[in-house]
Amino acid sequence: MLEILEKGLLRVEPGLLLWTIITFIVLLVILWKAAWKPVVEALDARAEKVRSDIENADRSRQEAEKLLAQHKSMMDNAKNEAARIMSDSREAAEKLKNEIIEKATADARDLSDRTKKEIELAKDRALADIKAEVVNLSTEIAAKIINKNLNPDDQKALVEETLNKVRTVQ
């Protein structure tokens, strides 16, 4: 095995080494001219695109945060507006309720007053009817008792006397 190593693969030949280095340098120059610039440009373009995408993502995030803040603000405004509308509605309902109660109370008072007046008038009419009936009955009784017809002056005096008695009874 040592023999193979000495004769074969690991032996360094100066001519072959020189041509290998020259070939490598020529290949390196060709690659430098033909492939290195496009590869570097492609890598630079890719890096620029990544940087641009990061900036766009950052701008989009900032816009999204701005829109979120606007949305929160609009939601808060809507909540405040809804609360104000509810408060106004409650106040209007309370005011309407109070007006209805006041009107009903006034109507009930008016109805009570009218009813009292009507009762008072009916009572006065009934008393007047009773007085008239008492006068008629008294006149008839007196006429029958006396068995004669009274003249108008006597009848008037008799009525007044009976009315005075009726007043004292009340």
In this prediction, residue 31 has a pLDDT band, given cuts at 50, 70 and 90, of: confident
In this prediction, residue 40 has a pLDDT band, given cuts at 50, 70 and 90, of: confident
* CA dist., res. 78 & res. 153, Å (int): 93
Residues sharing a CB contact under 8 Å with residue 17, sequence separation 6 or more, in sequence order: none
pLDDT of residue 95: 95
- Put simply, whether the predicted model's pTM sits higher than 0.75 gets the answer no
Task: Please name the amino acid found at residue 26.
Answer: V
**Greater confidence, 2 or 117?**
117
Long-range contacts (CB closer than 8 Å, 24 or more residues apart) made by 130-137? 131/163, 131/166, 134/162, 134/163, 134/166, 135/159, 135/162, 135/163
Q: Does position 48 have pLDDT exceeding 60, yes or no?
A: yes
pLDDT of residue 9: 61
Task: Give the pLDDT confidence of 126-165 residue by residue, as tens digits.
Answer: 888 887 777 777 776 766 666 556 677 777 777 777 777 7
